């Protein structure tokens, strides 16, 4: 099905290098675009027969390329994706898809008008454990889903030009929207920038959906404990997805009883691990991209998925950058 599909990777930095290795293993790697001479030299030393270009235009001029993986710095995503789509190539662009809604919307319009594949690299969507959690929610085992809570915290790498919302937020927002099956009706954001003025290090997002579901996302890279977890609360049970060990635990816990809060009683039926086991999400993601290029199928993390994520981030950013207004004193 995927025989003959050829993909160029733009950007051979740390994450781009992972794409190179994966696509090479899939037999789909056509070449690399890399402007840094040292990095380009490393590519040539590793794969002597692999073409290396210093521009995307040069890579696409010769033909024989079906798609482009864009793993360059985020500010370049929109222009490179636009160039590839304009030249009738499919695109897998790393997160964040773009840094503005208008640019993301333009890419979606281009891809749909030209019938081209546009995919966003939201890696967690390709974790088997997350798919297991989605199946558990769909099965009705948790009942009506009331609340989803996500946390991504650590003492991590602080970036001088990017805040924690845009650095860590895209994946968790993508996961939330995937599980919710809809874009949020409401987005509220609060945070603090105590390491670098104007660049929040600790952010809380509160989201509300039209069906009554609410959600919370906590993002921090100045935090004493590393956390990668997702909790889903239903009216019949609860589930926890631990990203670190790739487990999904079903908690048979709920509140039951009378019609008023005072008459409700906690029911604890224990917990069980319903999924355990890792996977190779990047291999699954790149293979999915190659398959979509071959078949023309719509990707799981398509351009509209990426656009919805950017809409949430842009709405949150506007609130984080707004001047803080202390509550007025009552007379």
Q: How many CA atoms lie within 13 A of 305 on its CB side?
A: 29
Percent of the chain with pLDDT over 70: 95
pLDDT at 1: 41
d(CA 318, CA 134): 31
Tokens of 195: 């390491």
Q: 173-227 pLDDT, tens per residue?
A: 999 999 999 999 999 999 999 888 889 999 999 999 999 999 999 999 999 999 9
Q: Which domains does the chain have, with CATH numbers?
A: 7-123+282-300 (3.40.50.720), 125-279 (3.30.360.10)
Q: 48-97 pLDDT, tens per residue?
A: 999 999 999 999 998 899 999 999 999 999 999 999 999 999 999 999 99
pLDDT exceeds cutoff 70 at 327:
no
What are the angstrom distances between the C-alpha of 51 and each of 4, 21, 33, 286? 17, 15, 9, 20
Q: How many CA atoms lie within 13 A of 308 on its CB side?
A: 22
pLDDT exceeds cutoff 70 at 324:
no
Q: 104-113 pLDDT, tens per residue?
A: 999 999 999 9
Q: How many CA atoms lie within 13 A of 169 on its CB side?
A: 30
Percent of the chain with pLDDT over 90: 85
Question: What SS3 string covers 55-107?
Answer: CHHHHHHCCCCCEEEECCCHHHHHHHHHHHHHCCCEEEEECCCCCCHHHHHHH
Among the listed residues 300, 305, 276, the one whose alpha carbon sits nearest the alpha carbon of residue 286: 300
**Using only C-alpha atoms, what is the Rg of the chain?**
22
The DSSP letter of residue 276 is E
pLDDT at 266: 86
Give the predicted TM-score (pTM) of the model: 0.93
């Amino acid at each position: 099905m995927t025989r003959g599909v050829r993909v160029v990777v733009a950007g051979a930095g740390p994450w781009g290098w992972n794409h190179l290795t994966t696509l090479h293993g899939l037999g789909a790697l056509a070449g690399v675009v890399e402007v840094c001479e040292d990095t380009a030299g490393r590519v040539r030393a590793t794969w002597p027969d692999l073409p290396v270009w210093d521009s995307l235009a040069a890579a696409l001029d010769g033909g024989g390329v079906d798609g482009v993986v864009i793993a360059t710095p985020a500010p370049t995503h929109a222009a490179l994706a636009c160039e590839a789509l304009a030249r009738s190539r499919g695109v897998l662009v790393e997160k964040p898809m773009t840094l503005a809604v208008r640019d993301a919307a333009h890419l979606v319009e281009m891809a749909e008008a030209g019938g081209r594949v546009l995919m966003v690299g939201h890696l967690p969507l390709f974790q088997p454990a997350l798919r297991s959690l989605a199946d558990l929610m769909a099965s009705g085992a948790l009942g009506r889903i009331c609340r989803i809570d996500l946390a991504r915290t650590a003492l991590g790498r602080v970036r001088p030009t990017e805040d924690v919302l845009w650095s860590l937020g895209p994946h968790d927002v993508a996961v939330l929207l995937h599980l919710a099956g809809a874009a949020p009706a409401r987005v509220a954001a609060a945070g603090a920038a105590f390491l670098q003025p104007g660049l929040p290090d600790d952010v809380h997002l509160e989201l509300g959906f039209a069906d009554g579901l609410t959600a919370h996302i906590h993002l921090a890279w100045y935090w004493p404990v590393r956390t990668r977890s997702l909790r889903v609360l239903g009216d019949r049970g609860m589930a926890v997805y631990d990203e670190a060990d790739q487990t999904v635990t079903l908690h048979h816990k709920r509140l039951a009883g009378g019609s008023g809060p005072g008459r409700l009683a906690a029911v604890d039926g224990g917990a069980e691990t319903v999924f355990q086991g890792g996977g190779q999400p990047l291999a699954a993601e790149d293979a999915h991209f190659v398959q979509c290029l071959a078949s023309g199928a719509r990707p799981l993390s398509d351009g509209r998925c990426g656009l919805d994520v950017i809409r949430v981030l842009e709405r949150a950013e506007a609130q984080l950058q707004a001047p803080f207004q202390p509550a007025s004193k009552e007379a």
